[in-house]
């Protein structure tokens, strides 16, 4: 089959959920998103890294919540009516995990073609460049495509995998 250029671009598009962190726009691949939650009370975990905001109860399951602003080197801010938690499915060190990503505000789902994605320039930024798969310019704005697996990978993957196990280990010490 022969497709026109427009049809070919549409066939290869992927959907991304765009969201704000400060004044920057980021996006997660929609195929990795389970749901979007309104902000709810988060229980802190003692001795957890600062980017692990804590855990919430998601229908009877413990869901670790990561402050995405901190992961990208953006100063934290108080939550407001726009703050939400994006529940994402990740693969960290061969383990499939479900995590909450705390973001300032969800914008919309955007279809993006691989032909629109450009390499992220290295500008000596404060965040790990492995956290971003590329950059897309849409309507005079830039969108940073976040790499969910790289962004949430850390030395604390065991804590994220099973916070209850970590807590029970502390009680046994």
pLDDT tens by residue, 59-105: 999 999 999 999 888 899 999 999 999 999 988 778 888 999 999 99
| C-beta separation of 38 from 90 below 8 A | no
Secondary structure of residue 86 in the 3-state scheme: strand
What percentage of the chain exceeds 70 in pLDDT?
76
* Model confidence pTM above 0.85: no
d(CA 99, CA 88) in angstroms, rounded, equals 5
Mean pLDDT of 47-56: 91
pLDDT at 122: 66
Q: Which two tokens stand for residue 25?
A: 């726009």
Q: How confident is the model at residue 5 (pLDDT cuts 50, 70, 90)?
A: low
Closest by Cα among 139, 67, 74 to 107 = 139
Residues β-bridged to residue 85: 37, 102
Q: Give yes or no for residue 152 having a pLDDT over 90.
A: no
Domains (range + CATH), the chain: 12-171 (2.40.50.180)
Q: Please give the residue that has the higher pLDDT: either 167 or 12.
A: 12
d(CA 154, CA 146) in angstroms, rounded, equals 16
CA angle 162, 165, 170 (to 5 degrees): 135
Q: Which two tokens stand for residue 4?
A: 């026109």
Secondary structure of residue 36 in the 3-state scheme: strand
């Amino acid at each position: 089959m022969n497709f026109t250029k427009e049809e070919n671009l549409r066939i290869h598009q992927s959907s991304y959920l765009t969201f704000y962190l400060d004044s920057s726009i980021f996006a997660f691949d929609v195929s990795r998103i389970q749901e979007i939650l309104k902000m709810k009370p988060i229980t802190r975990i003692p001795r957890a890294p600062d980017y692990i905001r804590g855990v919430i109860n998601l229908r009877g399951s413990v869901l670790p919540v990561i402050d995405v602003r901190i992961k990208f080197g953006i100063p934290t801010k108080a939550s407001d009516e726009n703050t939400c938690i994006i529940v994402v499915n990740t693969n960290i060190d061969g383990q499939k995990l479900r995590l909450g990503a705390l973001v300032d505000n969800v914008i919309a789902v955007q279809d993006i073609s691989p032909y629109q994605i450009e390499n992220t320039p290295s500008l000596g930024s404060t965040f790990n460049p492995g956290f971003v798969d590329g950059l897309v310019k849409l309507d005079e704005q830039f969108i940073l495509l976040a790499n969910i697996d790289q962004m949430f990978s850390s030395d604390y993957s065991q804590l994220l995998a099973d916070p209850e196990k970590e807590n029970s280990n502390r009680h046994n010490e």
